[in-house]
Amino acid sequence: MNIIIKNSAEEASAAVAEILLRQVETKPDSVLGLPTGATPLGVYARLRQEFSKGRGRYKDVTTFNLDEYLGLSSEHPSSYAFYMRETLFRHADFKSERTHIPDGLATDAEAEAERYESLISTHGGIDLMVLGLGRNAHIGFNEPGSPHTSRTRRVALASSTLDANARYFQPGSSQPTHAITMGIGTILESRAIVVLATGREKADAIAASVNGPVTDAVPGSALNRHADATIVLDRQAAQALGAVQLLELGV
Ligand code: F6R
C-alpha cells in the first residue's frame, strides 16, 4: 500500500485530482469508479476548475459510482445521482449515458445490483477506483463485517453511518436506511485504487485499515489485499499512524 501524506486537505484533494487527470490523459476511455460524500468535494472542485481551463476530457470516459441510497430518485437532492450531476458531471463533458449509478428506485434491489455488477464487467472492469473512507472504516457502503469477497448488493447502513450522513438530509425528511453498494470484492478487482481521507475523524479508521489485521471487521483493511492501492491523507487523518511508520514514509 502506498501512503501519501499532504499538509492540508486541499493539497491531498489536489493530489487525487492530479491522479485522475493523468489517468484520463493517459487513457481517454478510462473506466473510473467514483465516490460521493464530503471528502471528494475538493477533488471534484479541482476537476471542474481544470476543465474550465481546458484540462481533462471526459467524453469517452465511463464512470461507475460506488453506491446509491435505496428509495431516492435521481432527482432527489440527497441522492448520489443528484450529487454527481451537480458537483461534477454537468460541469464537464461527461456523457450521461456513460455515467452509471445504481438505481435507487429499483423495485428489485438485488436484480439491480446484479445488473450493475455485470455492467462493470461488460466495460472491462474499473481502471481507477477512487474511494473515501467512513469513520468506521467502511468503503462504499460496505459496513464492518462485510466479507472482502462481497459483490454489489443491497445493504443495511450502520447506525453510525446514518448519524454521520444525517446532515445531508433536510430536517423532517426521511433518511434511507438501505443502499446498493459495490462489494469489496468488486472494488478490489479495480486495476488501481486511490483512497482519500482527510480530517482527524478519519485517523482511527486509517490506522486500523493500514496497520491491519486484515479482517472483515475493518472494511478498509481489504486494501492491503490490492497490489496497486494508494492512500492520500492530510496530516490530521495520518495522526494515528505510528511514529515508526511515519518515519519510514519520510514524514
Ligand atoms: C460515498 C461512499 C462512502 C464515503 C464515506 C466517507 O459514495 O461510498 O464510503 O466515502 O462514507 O464519507 P465522507 O466523505 O462524507 O466522510
Whether 223 shows a pLDDT value over 90: the answer reads yes
What is the per-residue pLDDT for 101? 98
Task: Tell me how far the alpha carbon of residue 191 lies from the centroid of ligand 1, in angstroms.
Answer: 21
* Predicted pLDDT at 247: 65
Q: Which of 67, 78, 162, 181 to mutate to test the pocket of ligand 1 (most atoms within 8 A of CB)?
A: 67
Mean residue pLDDT of the chain comes to 96
Q: Which residue's CA is the closest to the ligand 1 atom numbered 4? A: 132
Confidence of residue 173 (pLDDT cuts 50, 70, 90): confident
Using CB distances shorter than 6 Å, the residues near ligand 1 are 35-39, 66-67, 132-134, 138-141
Q: Tell me what the mean pLDDT of segment 123-148 comes to.
A: 97
For the four alpha carbons of 167, 172, 177 and 181, in that order, the dihedral sign comes to: negative
Ligand 1 atom nearest residue 40's Cα = 14
The one-letter amino acid at 178: H
Secondary structure (3-state) at 117 = helix
Pocket test for ligand 1, best of 138, 157, 163, 202 (most atoms within 8 A of CB): 138
Ligand 1 atom, smallest distance to 142 CA: 9
pTM, two decimal places = 0.96
Contact status, residue 109 vs residue 179, Cβ threshold 8 Å: no
pLDDT at 242: 76
What is the pLDDT averaged over residues 228-235? 97
Partners of 192 in beta bridges: 128
CB 183 within 8 A of CB 152: yes
What are the tens digits of pLDDT across the range 87-122? 999 999 999 999 999 999 999 999 999 999 999 999
Distance of CA 164 from the midpoint of ligand 1 (Å): 10
- Report the chain's terminal Cα–Cα distance, integer Å: 16
Nearest-CA residue for ligand 1 atom 12 is 37
pLDDT digits over 18-67, tens only?
A: 999 999 999 999 999 999 999 999 999 999 999 999 999 999 999 999 99
Q: Tell whether the model's pLDDT for residue 158 goes beyond 80.
A: yes
| Angle in degrees, 0-180, between the axes of helices 41-52 and 9-26, rounded to the nearest 10 | 50
Using the mean position of ligand 1's atoms as its centre, give its distance from the Cα of residue 36 in Å: 6
Instruction: For ligand 1, atom 1, name the residue with the nearest CA.
Output: 36
Q: Which three cell numbers stand for residue 202?
A: 478519519
Task: Give pLDDT, residue 249.
Answer: 67
* CA 171 / ligand 1 centre spacing (Å): 20
140: Cβ contacts below 8 Å, ≥ 6 apart: 35, 66, 67, 131, 181, 182, 183, 184, 187
User: Which active-site residues does the annotation give?
Assistant: 67, 136, 138, 143
Q: What is the pLDDT of residue 190?
A: 98
**CB-based contact 55:84 (threshold 8 Å):** no
